[in-house]
A and B are shown apart, each in its own frame.
Chain A
Amino acid sequence: MINKPAPLRLLPVLLPAAFTLACLTVMLPRLLPALDLSFLQTFRTSFLGILLEALPFVLLGSLLSSLLHLFVTEEALDRWIPKHPVAGILTACVLGLVFPICECGMIPLIRRLIQKGMPVYIAIVFILSGPIINPVVYGATYMAFRLYPEMVYARMGLAFLVSASIGFMIYATWKSSPLKVTRSTLNSESAAETEMRNRPRGSKWTAVLVHTSDEFFDMGKYLLIGCLLTAGIQSFVAKESLTMIGNGPVSSYFFMMGFAFLLSLCSTSDAFVAQTFLTTFSSGSLLAFLVFGPMLDFKNTLMLLSVFKTKFVLYLAFLIFAVVFIGAVAVDAFYFT
């Protein structure tokens, strides 16, 4: 069975598929006008919009991760990372200033860093703070809230506090490796690396690009599912019916955080969506939206699940939710007055 050549095995599927394709080609022009395509069009435009926007960053993340994998040794990385947890966490908080990549590009990079021996709590702090504490997001938020600069400072400040405190909590509570154990064992890596380093230069670059494609296809799956669902929510659910749900003082926080989770917007653009809610929701709940969304949303949860154990992702999600909620309420009470 397995030894049969591929075309023969595919034949039973290929023929019906070709038949369907032929039928569709003939019928499509007549069928299309009859269908109401407005939903599909909105879906298509949103889907391709998110995907095209994220694509360069996922590609960049894969490329960086692949370069890191082949050119940076574990010992070198070990020397760069501060030993003391406080110093490590504070460094990770501002790392985003140097590497302004959004969350899609971040996750493949982080996986590689953890595999190379970066402590988990530092990696998590970077995942959480990176998408918010960086110059691009600061500029975008400032543009959107140009009349309310307090919101910009509150967003940056709260993001810093939330990621630092979650970093400490993970440092104190999670000792085992949160990475999914993959089929190929991690300890074979060093052997492969020495082999890679001994190769001639040309094949090393080939290896970088082949790795990039591995990472890209690995992460891309989750990105695509995330984009499909996000576009689905955006094009089939009316915003009005959503906003009706959360108008109470407390429910508005839950609503805005849930909304941020479902929308899965890029952190560089979510501020503009948030400010359309200024008239409907309290400033505190908008702040929760702005801080929670980049840290945890549909798209990146799927990507996190591909890298970390489910138990760890759930634990992290709970921490983010609780800390952001407390922080946003506190900021609303003491700062936005």
Chain B
Amino acid sequence: MKSEAVAAKRHYLLRAFILLGFALYISHLATSGKLQLYVAPEMQLWLRLSVIPLVLVAVTLVYHAFFAKENSVICECGMEHEVTGSAFKHTLAYALFLTPLLLGLVLPDRALDGAAATRKGMILGSPVLSREQLDGKFKAPDKYNEEFAELAKRLYIQELIEVKPEIFSEMIGAIELFKEDFRGKKIKLSGFVYQKKDAPNRSEFVLSRFLVQCCTADAYPFGVPVSSVAPLPSLRNDIWVEVEGTLQTGEHDGKEIITISAERVSEIPRPDSPYVFLNSNAVIEYLQRLDGPL
């Protein structure tokens, strides 16, 4: 009985240590702003909140290990307690829980890059609207069409269309929906450089972004093909650039897509928030902001 209690104590302490590790790692990510490299803004609140129960449970376990009465250390409550079972199995299980913490600490935090884009498959054009839309068997509901049309109308009258990161996919989508009308318009946008490995090119690349819905596992890359008039000697995969140029249309795999003929390509530092997120409110906010000064 005595040695069992000691074993239980050790388990509780180890678990408390792991839970505290998770809590510390999450708060580290949250305070350093790196959380958005892993999960979308809507999910972040949940994660921040989960620190509270993690710490609470960890503290309770420590308390339980040291101060609980002998008989209640191993409570017979119909649960399969881990306290029995082979040591090897336990070591394996706890090693499993330490894996994410070790991975998190040893390797630097990095956003998804071109290598991931190759594996996930680059989509040219906006992912929100990248198909033979609005015809055939499906019909578009008016609400979103209106939103895109409204957005397109506002963009059309701008001298230089600056693509905002918060509504990146929506703006590209609106432009793509009316690509014929936007041909020849000036545009400015930023993203990372993606080139297929087998086609290194000094003047053509895909200006890309990752769209993240919940977490990085469902991220997928999309982008707009850019061709530069002047050759770009310093062009390489995964650098971040700002492109200013003229909208064109081109063909890719039998589908008409938008392309950009760049007049100016300049390297910029990687932004703190490299991904774009889908956010229907952001479009409305953007439209309201445009209305403001008028």
**Contact in complex: B112, A42 (CB < 8 Å):** yes
A52 at the interface (CB under 8 A from B): yes
Give the interface SS of chain B, mostly helix, strand, loop or mixed: helix
Q: Is A210's CB within 8 Å of the partner chain B?
A: yes
- Does B86 sit at the interface, judged by CB under 8 A? no
* A276 touches which of B35, B46, B60, B220 (Cβ 8 Å): B220
Give the contacts of B40-65 with A (CB-CB under 8 A). 43, 46-47, 49-50, 53-54, 56-57, 60-61, 63-64
Contact B57–A46 (Cβ < 8 Å) = no
User: A212–B56 Cα gap in the complex (Å)?
Assistant: 11
Q: Is B234 located at the chain interface by the 8 A CB criterion?
A: no
Please tell me the size bucket of the interface on A: 35 or more
Chain B residues with Cβ below 8 Å from A147 are 129, 133-134, 138, 140-141, 144
* Proximity bits, B5-21, A CB within 8 Å = 1, else 0: 00000101001000100
Asked whether, in the complex, the Cβ of A213 is within 8 Å of the Cβ of B75, the reply is: no
Q: A146-B141, A225-B96 are in contact. Are A272 and B47 (CB under 8 A)?
A: no
Closest to A38 in B: B115
Q: Determine whether the beta carbon of A52 is less than 8 Å from that of B215.
A: yes
- Asked if residues A45 and B110 are in contact (CB atoms below 8 Å), the reply is yes
B120 at the interface (CB under 8 A from A): yes
Cβ of A329 under 8 Å from chain B: no
B216 at interface by CB-CB < 8 Å: yes
> When chains A and B are docked, how far (Å) is the Cα of A269 from the Cα of B123?
18
Distance (whole angstroms) from the CB of A281 to the closest CB of chain B: 12
B97–A2 CB distance below 8 A: no
Query: Can you spell out 15 A-B residue pairs with CB atoms less than 8 angstroms apart?
Result: A38-B116, A41-B107, A49-B38, A52-B38, A53-B39, A59-B54, A182-B80, A206-B63, A210-B12, A217-B93, A221-B97, A224-B99, A234-B119, A265-B218, A273-B218
Candidates A55, A183, A191, A234; contact of B50 at CB < 8 Å? A55
B144 CB to nearest chain A CB (Å):
5
Contact of B217 among A55, A59, A265 (CB under 8 A): A265
Main secondary structure of the interface of A (DSSP, over half): helix
Instruction: Give the Cβ gap from B114 to chain A, nearest Cβ, in Å.
Output: 8
Tally of contacts, chain A with chain B, CB under 8 A? 218
CA distance A48 to B56 in the complex (A): 23
Closest-CB distance, A308 to chain B (whole angstroms): 14
A189 at the interface (CB under 8 A from B): yes
Chain B residues with CB under 8 Å of A38's CB are 113, 115-116
Interface size on B, residues (CB 8 A): 80
* Other A-B pairs beyond A209-B56, A217-B15, 11, CB < 8 Å: A48-B38, A49-B219, A53-B215, A186-B78, A192-B75, A192-B78, A213-B61, A216-B57, A220-B97, A235-B116, A272-B213
Using a CB-CB cutoff of 8 Å, which residues 178-207 of chain A contact chain B?
Answer: 182-186, 188-189, 191-193, 196, 203, 206-207
Contact of A228 among B99, B120, B121, B216 (CB under 8 A): B99
Asked if A3 is at the interface of the complex by the 8 Å CB criterion, the answer is yes
Q: Is the CB of A56 within 8 A of B47?
A: yes
Residue of A55, A192, A220 near B77 (CB, 8 A) is: A192
A46 with B50: CB separation less than 8 A:
no
Q: A206-B60, A213-B19, A273-B220 are in contact. Are A59 and B107 (CB under 8 A)?
A: no
Per-residue CB contact flags for chain B residues 205-237 toward chain A (1 = under 8 Å, else 0) read 000000101111111100000000000000000
Are B214 and A52 within 8 A (Cβ)?
A: no
**Which residues of B sit under 8 angstroms from A272, Cβ to Cβ?**
127, 211, 213, 218, 220, 278
- Per a CB cutoff under 8 Å, which of A45, A48, A60, A184 touches B81? A184
Q: In the assembly, what is the distance between CA of A278 and CA of B138, in Å? A: 12
Nearest chain A CB to B166 CB, angstrom units: 16
> Does any Cβ of B come within 8 Å of A214's Cβ?
yes
Q: Which residues of B contact A69 (CB under 8 A)?
A: 77
In the assembled complex, B37 has its CB within 8 A of some CB on chain A: yes
Contact with B along A14-47 (1 / 0, CB 8 A): 0000000000000000000000011111101111
The answer to whether A53 touches B217, judged by C-beta atoms less than 8 angstroms apart, is: yes
> A203 contacts B77, CB within 8 Å?
no
